[in-house]
Amino acid sequence: MHLTRDRIIAFAVLLPSLILIAVFVYGFIGQTVYISFTDWGRGAALALHPQMNLIGFDNYKELFTSFLHGRFRQDLINAFFYTMSLVLGSLSLGLFLAILLDREPRGEGIFRTIFLYPMSLSFVVTGTIWRWLLAPGGGINVLPTFVGLPAGHFRWTSSRGQILTFDWQSIPEITAIVVALVLLFLTIRTWRTGKHKRAFAVAVPALILVLWALFGGRMVPQMLPIPEKHGFNLATIGVSLAAIWQFSGYTMALYLAGLRGIPVGLHEAARLDGANDIQYYMRVAFPILKPITLSAVIILAHISLKMFALIFAMAGPDNASTGHPAVLMYLTTFRGNKFALGASIAVILFLLVALFIIPYLVSSYREQRRRAS
Amino acid sequence: MAEVVLEKVMKKFGDFVAVKGIDLKVDDGAFTVLVGPSGCGKTTTLRMIAGLEEVTSGEVKIGEKVVNRVPPKDRDIAMVFQNYALYPHMDVYNNMAFGLKLRKIPKKEIEERVHAAASLLGIEGKLKSKPRELSGGQRQRVAVGRAIVRNPKVFLFDEPLSNLDAKLRVQMRTELEQLHHKLQTTTVYVTHDQVEAMTLGSKIAVMRDGVIHQYASPQETYDHPSNQFVAGFIGSPAMNFLPARATLSNGNLILTGEGFTITLPSNGRIDTVPEQVVLGIRPEDLTGPVSEGENLLQVKVKVTEPLGNELLVYADCGGEQVVANLDPHQHVEIDSTIKLSPNLNTLHLFDKESEATLL
Amino acid sequence: MTAKLTWARVLLYATLIVVAAIYLMPIYMTVITALKDPADINLDTAWQLPSHLNWGSFSQAYAKLGPNIVNSIILAVTATLLSSLLGSLNGYVFSKWSFRGNDLVFTLLLFGMFIPYQIILIPLFQTLRAMHLYGGLPGLILAHVVYGLPITTLIFRNFYAQIPSSLTESAQIDGAGFFKLYLRVIFPLSIPGFVVTFIWQFTQIWNEFLWGITLTKYNANPITVGLAQLAGGQAVSWNLPMAGSIIAAIPVLIIYILMGRYFIRGLLAGSVKG
């Protein structure tokens, strides 16, 4: 491209935005990473030029191994469960609703509005409303009495109950087993497609991981002085319910747009080929909707890692059972003034999000390139 | 008024060479058609003349001035796009006036020019309509009108008729022809339709794979195609090609293939021939069926298409499909084997290897 | 398609109605609680309609949230207008003036939309403080404009991609330069794009909480922070937070109900990329 005057103008118009994004996104991320390697937050943290010394990975080490930061580790596990329940709950419910509406019932527009309106609300509004709905002695808990059943007694957001408990020390072994299971699944799939050599190549690392988990795991130095129990906090269920209520309409809208985007002829062709409705959705519609599922998973996972406001409004920031790294980051930084430690939590949160987002962006970038050429 | 000259013009998109260093001279006032199958580089060539694509190397001249670095608006050209590119938020009048307004032409003159163009095209009653209220043919006329009012040195057309239905296309083709006759503006016109090319162009450039294979008058490309590709592309139905073995003996050229042996007096026109050749016969140069004679094609009839004024016979000649345009006042039986007589004066002969014209 | 009343159809409607009731349940609870006398709010009778309507909670909640609402309106309107305008210009450049590395720059820009904002929060706090913008609305507006750029640019780029390039090329041949092309051709065609971005940005900014609570002082608190404080105290009876929730939700709910179509388009633009 040669530089005509208009091209220079075009770039000049774009430039301020690019500079802003470069500074406010990339510059700030770098700055946060830098802060996470310092000890900002010792004393006089709020001074305009606070004292900062580089201390390397100490903050991270502390978060993962210090006895004092058990809440952070439980929060990470909560974040995992929040993400799983929001993604699985919203996807399945959204798809279910989309299929119902795809049958073109009368009043479709009204139903669509009803399913989608929670999405327009603020997390704070949702949190406030659901806090009332899930009040231990009322709201949802008294609903069973209307049909003659005893009232529920579940203490939604303040329950201390925990299931699926495990020792933080065994995280390496658990990870190894999970990865091995995934590899095993891949092995079976590859074997079925007839690529036996490749299946074998996948099976070997799986086997090694299992063996290591069973016999070698103990050789890893202990991270904590004493065993530390973590697990699935039952109190998170209530928050997840509210989040699913808010976002299932969103996945419904995505799926419905996808279903409507499938040419009518395809459904008719499938019918002529002898497919019933279930077969049509399973064999024709789902595969076509795969990219939608993918982007919905990305967006939902990303939302779940930003659930700060919902948890804040619904259970309060100090409630440990419903904790989330995003809330802890706020508490650490802006209540505790431990900026460096807060920055470390932010970096960990960021890395978790990046795990989802970067492959997504890379693939969409590749797709654009392909379409452009 | 101006001539358009391309010298060794090349266009690369990344590693792909879309136009491979072509030379083309469009005389002042001439109507040149760039024709070829899709992907041949004809639209890219047109867009380089317009300045919408940058030239990778070579020179584009309009009116003897090199315009490689001149932006489109300063090239004094007007272009009609395949999808018309009418501004949807402006009415017809403003669509046509837009370019004039941007050039700060006095309001009164704009009005005169727009009305003149509109009456020339018969869309005066539509000046207040928005593009979406117009039919395909009317949109087409507005797009042409927008080009006319500018009174440019050069008109560029990018497949302007391909979005119209068949009947309207023929009508608009005639109108464009008359328009050019009246205005005598240098025109470059891109199409993939060889009938459009033949009827509109004072000269046509047949392109394939970024190369101009022949640049000549329509009749010349029909009568004396420069190679097998041009021969097959120009003319409808397309020329029949039959692989043959050629030998020269006693000043005669003997062509043999499955179903035919043809002896041509070479009359010194040809000294050497490659052994493998391709015989080219236009469907309209076949007559028959004949019962006896020399130099005949023996074919098996597959399908017949009586069109009233002509009878198209699709037949098989040694595994190759042969089309013959025969006298319609006769009956040809399907599955029968018949003999057809080619006009020996208009036979074409190509090198099988290089596709170059031998005869 | 004529819908015959088959068993499948009945089942479909029954399911839809039950699910719709579940989705509406929280709103029902909110409304009836907001309309009850504080004394009548009692966990056992939580589901029952109020014995008489008490509108007082709304004026009480409004008295507390009034300043927050004004803040949120100033914030949301200004930031929405600015980020939409910039997004429109950016989208115009990305879709009609593509340059080398176009896609890469765009993808890098888009990344800003997906980060958890905790990762930029501390430097943002530092920067605003250094610029003397910390604590007030201008700083918050700046943050919303900057971090709104990726989504508005994305929406407009996708929107302008639908405008055939022959239209802009034709205008270029007609003699339009960068700005004339934008003002005379692109901008007049952009109204649907602006509606989508306005709605999207307005609801997002109206609903935002994290920056509200970390970057503003009491006087500049937006509505979400005001509501959280109203609802946060344990002693408050539930009618007030519920009335406050309704007040906070009303503007976006109205927009959503009136212009839901465009809202969905914004949602789709934010996820399924083209």
* pLDDT score for B270: 73
- Alpha-carbon gap, residue A32 to C121, rounded angstroms: 8
Which subunits sit against B, judged by 3+ Cβ pairs under 8 A? A, C
Domain boundary among B233, B250, B269: B233
**Are C29 and C148 within one domain?**
no
**Are B53 and B88 within one domain?**
yes
Quick check: is C187 in a domain? yes
Is the CB of residue A53 less than 8 Å away from at least one CB of chain C? no
Q: Can you give the residue range of the structural domain that contains C38?
A: 7-45
Specify the 3-state DSSP secondary structure of A222.
coil
Q: C176-217 pLDDT, tens per residue?
A: 889 999 999 999 999 889 998 998 899 999 999 999 999 999
Beta bridge partners of B122: none
Quick check: is B36 in a domain? yes
**Are B295 and B170 within one domain?**
no
Quick check: is C27 in a domain? yes
Nearest C-alpha of chain A: how many angstroms from C71? 16
Q: CB–CB of B71 and A373 under 8 A?
A: no
Chain A residue closest in CA terms to B55 = A1
Quick check: is B358 in a domain? no
Quick check: is B356 in a domain? no
* pLDDT score for B268: 67
Q: CB–CB of B99 and C185 under 8 A?
A: no
Q: Domain total for chain C?
A: 2
Provide the CATH number for the domain around residue B97. 3.40.50.300
Nearest C-alpha of chain B: how many angstroms from C188? 7
Query: Could you tell me the two tokens for A143?
Result: 């609903």
Q: Can you give the residue range of the structural domain that contains B119?
A: 4-233
- Cα of first residue to Cα of last residue in chain C, in angstroms, is 32
**Are C64 and C38 within one domain?**
no
Is the CB of residue C73 less than 8 Å away from at least one CB of chain A? no
Residue spans of chain B under pLDDT 50? none
- Alpha-carbon gap, residue A33 to B158, rounded angstroms: 55
Quick check: is C236 in a domain? yes
Is the CB of residue C103 less than 8 Å away from at least one CB of chain B? no
In the block, tokens 């002529």 appear at A272
**Are C21 and C71 within one domain?**
no
Phi, psi of A43 (to 5 degrees): -140, 160
Longest dimension (CA), chain B: 78
Chain C residue closest in CA terms to B78 = C173
* Residue type at B293 in one-letter notation: G
Indicate the residue of B78, B87, B146 with minimum beta-carbon distance to C185: B87
Other beta carbons less than 10 A from residue A134's beta carbon: 23
Quick check: is C31 in a domain? yes
Residue among B332, B330, B311, B312 nearest B321 (CA): B312
Q: How confident is the model at residue A173 (pLDDT cuts 50, 70, 90)?
A: confident
Domain boundary among B233, B248, B265: B233
Which candidate in C103, C163, C167, C173 is best for mutational testing of the B interface (most B CBs within 10 A)? C173
**Are B278 and B315 within one domain?**
yes
* Choice between C104 and C5, residue whose per-residue pLDDT is larger: C104
* pLDDT score for B156: 94
Residue C34 Cα distances to A246, C233, C240, angstroms = 21, 17, 7
Burial string for C61-98 (b: 16+ CB within 10 Å, else e) reads beebbeebbebbebbbbbbbbbbbebbbbbbbbbbbbb
Is the CB of residue C98 less than 8 Å away from at least one CB of chain B? no
Helix residue spans in chain B (DSSP H): 42-50, 92-102, 107-121, 136-149, 166-183, 194-200, 218-223, 228-233
Indicate the residue of A2, A6, A373 with minimum beta-carbon distance to B14: A373
Q: Domain total for chain B?
A: 2
Indicate the residue of B14, B54, B71 with minimum beta-carbon distance to A1: B54
Task: For chain A, give the mean pLDDT.
Answer: 84
Contact assessment for residue A231 and residue A159, using Cβ atoms and an 8 Å cutoff? no
**Are B220 and B253 within one domain?**
no
Q: pLDDT > 90: what percent of chain A?
A: 27
Contacts of B86 in chain C (CB under 8 A): 167
* pLDDT score for A265: 77
Task: For chain C, give the mean pLDDT.
Answer: 88
Residue among B123, B133, B130 nearest B94 (CA): B130
Contacts of A4 in chain B (CB under 8 A): 71
**Are C21 and C65 within one domain?**
no
Q: How confident is the model at residue A2 (pLDDT cuts 50, 70, 90)?
A: very low
* pLDDT score for C273: 41
Quick check: is B357 in a domain? no
Is the CB of residue B74 less than 8 Å away from at least one CB of chain A? no
> Is this complex scored with an ipTM above 0.90?
no
Is the CB of residue A355 less than 8 Å away from at least one CB of chain C? no
- Cα of first residue to Cα of last residue in chain B, in angstroms, is 39
Beta bridge partners of B315: B301, B322
Q: B166-183 pLDDT, tens per residue?
A: 888 898 999 999 999 999
**Are C264 and C136 within one domain?**
yes
**Are B106 and B189 within one domain?**
yes
Q: CB–CB of A4 and B14 under 8 A?
A: no
Indicate the residue of A24, A106, A353 with minimum beta-carbon distance to C147: A24
* pLDDT score for A185: 87
Q: C63-120 pLDDT, tens per residue?
A: 989 999 999 999 999 999 999 999 999 999 999 888 888 889 999 999 998 899 999 9
**Are C193 and C230 within one domain?**
yes
**Are B209 and B248 within one domain?**
no
- Alpha-carbon gap, residue C33 to C46, rounded angstroms: 7
Indicate the residue of C94, C99, C256 with minimum beta-carbon distance to A1: C99
**Are B256 and B111 within one domain?**
no
* DSSP secondary structure of A19-76: HHHIIIIIIHHHHHHHHHTB-TTSSSTTSSS----B-TTHHHHHHHH-GGGHHHHHHH
* pLDDT score for C47: 80
Phi, psi of B55 (to 5 degrees): -80, 130
Query: Which is it for strands B4-13 and B57-62: parallel, antiparallel or unpaired?
Result: antiparallel
Is the CB of residue C185 less than 8 Å away from at least one CB of chain B? yes
Can you give the three-state secondary structure of chain C, one letter per residue?
A: CCCCCCHHHHHHHHHHHHHHHHHHHHHHHHHHHHCCCHHHCCHHHCCCCCCCCCCHHHHHHHHHHHHHHHHHHHHHHHHHHHHHHHHHHHHHHHHHCCCCCHHHHHHHHHHHHHCCCHHHHHHHHHHHHHCCCCECHHHHHHHHHHHHHHHHHHHHHHHHHCCCHHHHHHHHHHCCCHHHHHHHHHHHHCHHHHHHHHHHHHHHHHHCCHHHHHHECHHHCCHHHHHHHHHHCCCCCCHHHHHHHHHHHHHHHHHHHHHHHHHHHHHHHCCCCC
Specify the 3-state DSSP secondary structure of B161.
coil
- Alpha-carbon gap, residue A202 to A209, rounded angstroms: 11
Residue A4 Cα distances to A12, B58, B66, B157, C177, angstroms = 13, 19, 16, 25, 10
- Alpha-carbon gap, residue A366 to A369, rounded angstroms: 5
**Are C28 and C110 within one domain?**
no
Q: A125-157 pLDDT, tens per residue?
A: 999 899 888 887 767 777 777 777 777 777 777
- Alpha-carbon gap, residue B80 to B159, rounded angstroms: 8
Is the CB of residue C171 less than 8 Å away from at least one CB of chain B? yes
In the block, tokens 């802060």 appear at A35
**Are C11 and C130 within one domain?**
no
**Are B287 and B186 within one domain?**
no
- Alpha-carbon gap, residue B262 to B284, rounded angstroms: 18
Residue C175 predicted with pLDDT over 80: yes
- Cα of first residue to Cα of last residue in chain A, in angstroms, is 16
Which candidate in C42, C122, C214 is best for mutational testing of the A interface (most A CBs within 10 A)? C122
**Are C17 and C136 within one domain?**
no
- Alpha-carbon gap, residue A54 to A276, rounded angstroms: 65
Nearest C-alpha of chain C: how many angstroms from A321? 18
Contacts of B82 in chain C (CB under 8 A): 166
Query: Could you tell me the two tokens for B357?
Result: 């014209």
Provide the CATH number for the domain around residue B329. 2.40.50.140
Residue C2 predicted with pLDDT over 60: no
Contact assessment for residue C94 and residue C244, using Cβ atoms and an 8 Å cutoff? no
- Alpha-carbon gap, residue C123 to B332, rounded angstroms: 89
Residue among C167, C106, C101, C179 nearest A6 (CA): C179
Indicate the residue of C12, C47, C104 with minimum beta-carbon distance to A103: C12
Provide the CATH number for the domain around residue C87. 1.10.3720.10
**Are B142 and B9 within one domain?**
yes
**Are B329 and B345 within one domain?**
yes
Residue A266 predicted with pLDDT over 60: yes
Residue among B86, B5, B3, B99 nearest B45 (CA): B5
Residue A328 Cα distances to A71, A83, A223, A309, C20, angstroms = 8, 17, 22, 12, 35
Quick check: is C111 in a domain? yes
- Alpha-carbon gap, residue A315 to C232, rounded angstroms: 9
Cα A101 to chain centroid, rounded: 27
Is the CB of residue C187 less than 8 Å away from at least one CB of chain B? no
**Are C65 and C30 within one domain?**
no
Q: CB–CB of A13 and C89 under 8 A?
A: yes
Which candidate in B13, B48, B77, B79 is best for mutational testing of the C interface (most C CBs within 10 A)? B79
Residue C274 predicted with pLDDT over 50: no
Cis status of the peptide bond prior to C188, with omega within 30 of 0: no
Q: A63-111 pLDDT, tens per residue?
A: 888 878 888 989 999 999 999 999 999 999 999 999 999 888 888 889 9
Residues 262-321 of chain A with CB under 8 A from chain C are: 291-292, 295-296, 298-299, 302, 305-306, 308-309, 312-313, 316
**Are B226 and B304 within one domain?**
no
The H-or-E segment that residue A162 falls in is strand A162-167
Contacts of A5 in chain B (CB under 8 A): 71
**Are B120 and B260 within one domain?**
no
**Are C41 and C139 within one domain?**
no
Quick check: is B359 in a domain? no
Domains of chain A by range and CATH? 72-161+234-326 (1.10.3720.10)
* Choice between A311 and A68, residue whose per-residue pLDDT is larger: A311
**Are C70 and C22 within one domain?**
no
Nearest C-alpha of chain A: how many angstroms from B55? 9
Is the CB of residue B69 less than 8 Å away from at least one CB of chain A? yes
Q: C234-255 pLDDT, tens per residue?
A: 656 888 889 999 999 999 999 8
Quick check: is C51 in a domain? no
Residue B270: which residues within 8 A CB-CB, separation 6 or more?
B248, B253, B358, B359
Contact assessment for residue B118 and residue B105, using Cβ atoms and an 8 Å cutoff? no
Domain boundary among B187, B210, B233: B233
Q: CB–CB of C175 and B73 under 8 A?
A: yes
Cis status of the peptide bond prior to B289, with omega within 30 of 0: yes
Sign of CA dihedral B132, B137, B143, B148: negative
